[in-house]
Every structure is written in structure tokens, then in C-alpha cells.
Amino acid sequence: MKNTVNKSPFAKEFLKMAKGVFTKEEAEDICVLANKYSDEYINAHPDAYGSAVKVSYPFAGVYRALQKYVSKEEALQLMYDYAPVIGEKQRRAYWRFTSIPGVPSLLWANFEKIMKTAGGEKAGYKSTIYGVQGNVAGMDVLSCPVVNALVEIGMPEVAPVMCAIDQVYSTGYRGIQFKRTKSVAEGDDCCDYRYKRVRNKKN
């Protein structure tokens, strides 16, 4: 696997950020290094969960590459500052998709299955899934493979960046209100995902 940052839906957006902050030569170097480091992490962990491959290691690659030109603290702050921008791009994509008539209803009808798949053991999560009960649904994520992978390579501080992105894009599902007040990555006992179905004439 090569250029894994470029293949990561979220991590590749940080390289766009780099182009606006650093010189052309520096940004190009950061791009090369980020992909190199990400590939190294992935190659060293062939049995890693998909979320680690798509998020943890690419994020770590970017974080490490940025540190060639700025301090560790500055690198992390750059990622934090840009996280809402990435989240908003994804939120708009979800909003456009769920604006298609019938999609919100179909999504809610399958929401419990989606939670069990996305937050289940096969994906590397340990979760308490409450399922869909009328117009509400929820799950508590007790252990997250994104966080665990970053802890393993000594970069736990990067995990909350993904949470910051998640907090924004998860509001993009039309007809479904989202709320999360806690995060394992930020030291809480769980990530408390809560959803509420909001009906209107078009969904």
C-alpha cells in the first residue's frame, strides 16, 4: 500500500491545509513525508483495523511530517484548527445525499444495523448499543480502534482531532439530530452517541 494519506478521506484534506500555510516546496515535502510515515505505520501493523488504516496512521503521518517545519504543539494546533473545515466538507456531502427524497426514512429504518456494523466488535470497537427505540437511538463507545492505534504508536494526542471532525460531520444527516457530549479520546469513559429522528413532510 502506498500514498495512504492521499487515499484517506480525511487525512488528505490536511495536505490541502499545508499548501495554504507553508511554501510550495515545504508543502510538497510534507505531502511526501506524510505518505511515507503513514505507509510505514500501516506496513508495521498488517492486522490493524480498517479505521486505523484509514484514519489513525494517516493522521499520525501528517502530524509527524508537519513537525519537520513546526513544533509538535504547533503541528497539533494546525490539525485542530483545520478539523472543523474537514468536518464541514463531509457534513455538506451527507446533507446533499440525505436530501434525496426517501433517504432519511431508509437510513433510520436501518440505523440499528448501521450502528452495530460501524461500532461493533468486527470493526474493533467495544460498544453498548441501545438500538432504535421509536424516534431515538444511541450507543456508548467504550473502546475505539482509532484511539487505540494512536496510543500504541505513542501519539494519543492526535485522536481528539478525529473527534473534532466527527462532531461536525455527524450533524449532516437530514432528519436526524445528533449529539455527543463525551469522547474516549479526550479521557472520558465513553463516546455517548445520541440520535433523534425528526420527521417532516419531505422525509
As its CATH architecture, domain 4-197 has 2-Layer Sandwich (3.30)
What band does 159 get if pLDDT is binned at 50, 70 and 90? very high
Give the pLDDT of residue 203: 45
Q: Does position 131 have pLDDT exceeding 90, yes or no?
A: no
- Residue-range domain boundaries for the chain: 4-197
Alpha carbon of 43 to those of 6, 46, 93, 145: distances in Å? 16, 6, 31, 17
Report the share of the chain in percent with pLDDT over 70. Answer: 98
**Residue 105 neighbours by CB under 8 Å, 6+ apart:** 175, 203
Q: Which of 60, 62, 72, 55 is nearest to 18 (CA)?
A: 62
Task: Dump pLDDT digits (tens) for 164-189.
Answer: 999 999 999 999 999 999 999 999 99
Mean pLDDT, the chain, as a whole number? 94
Give the pLDDT of residue 1: 55
For the record, the C-alpha cell of 118 comes out as: 460501524
pTM: 0.92
